[in-house]
Structure 1
């Protein structure tokens, strides 16, 4: 490259083209340097927690109240679909899950319903006693562990408070013109919430049967006459779900499917006893073959966090310090250094947890 001679004062001539080219490439190199020097920051976890206000509390049936939640200014809430639930953080710190039973098209409020269970673990009593109008609550969600899938024919089975996730499904099936039936069971009419909302549905599609009038239903009878390709959605007490599952397996169905949601954890099947070492206290407890690690740990640590007890909410996830995990939930993935103590177990005889 030829050398540009200096001017009379010893300065070199500034060629405009060369100056522009030099600045262009200098700028590119500077940008590259800044990118290399930029400190990589860890992404912030996405929080789905909402702070909501109790707008309305309504007595829906004997020992059942519905609670309508909204923002301070009725701002639009995250969308949801039939089958979704909210994780509700109660004033005591307990976390409980309740199905959304309102209208998914209503983005200004969420509705849940809770039955008072005096013999339970205190969550339902706390809802009834403390969630009054004007109370502020924290929720997470909505999340869907009971998805409502498109189909031409449906059979809906609801037992008592199990109507809560089923009700939006029934209304959705009606809107799209599907062929559907609902069988709603319970102890007596006084115990069944939302009967008034079922009265507006087409005649002949809803059957209400109570134990005091019709006797305890036989699950095979509940499925009788259901088309072989129907999607069956069931929510209710454990005996009802277990009976429906057994009747479904015994029947001959062409392409039908069974979907269900439990109120309580499923019984432990094929479990082996094992020991859990609680690292923070140094204590070791024994988990029987027919109980979950959560149940055994609660006896020693009553404040241990949990919610669904079915392996999908993640509230009870605990760090694993030693031992191998028998993972029994799709959300409890292999390779993680943690486990869901409500369902997963030790694959060996002993496991150490960060508790």
Structure 2
């Protein structure tokens, strides 16, 4: 029977306590526990340190340790638990979509077919999400191991309704019929940048509605230091409309090949340096996904001239990726666009 419920703790009448702890080693050290359940273990930064800390909490009670996760990067504790011979005495359960489908599980057949179509051109993602296997294409721009290292369990997104103050930068990738419009807002914290807001607008959302949302958010949060906007295919008028609506520090970006390479390279460099951090979160609408998978979706290929082209598998979306790249790109000065000129003899 439940005696008392608090935000992160449930007290039972038999003296037992169920407590939600942050997924970092400092948050669990010092406890003496009987059961520990670690969810999304493969998507936890500092996983080795956390694993060691968990074992110490169970050392005097001979307690039970349970962990689960969607497979992600192979240089992780969770991969070793599932694959390393040193862990062969651990009991394992491998649950795929076959075990989860109705009537034996909660997965609806109609939802399964939608997911199958969504991942049709991305077999690696299907294997991870639905077959619970480790898989990654070799031509992804942001590897899983790099993404996992940038997840910050201490961060939370800011809600639209809240009032915030700080040094904010934003990226707005525009779409309408086939692609989604996505707004990404990051906040500068000393020499790092943290993801604090992500808005994915449903298909067919008018640009006027998108601008209205951006304007309302800017007013609540004291404006943006800069907001970079994808104006490819729509022209300068979208930036003019935003400025006429009272949004300050708007700057348009045309997605040429050199510009995309510049933005994607900056995003990757910030992550390699540990200067871009974000929480792990998922969403169901307007489509089902999670932030790490959206960053992992972009593929690249080298051309003969040494330049890089970017793409994403069919039935997937890279709007979140480019909105994020735009937000990070808003933190630096935009270089002049390279061009070729023909000089007459």
Q: TM-score, normalised by structure 1?
A: 0.24
Larger radius of gyration: 1
Which structure has more strand as a fraction of its residues?
Answer: 1
Which structure has more helix as a fraction of its residues?
Answer: 2
Q: TM-score, normalised by structure 2?
A: 0.24
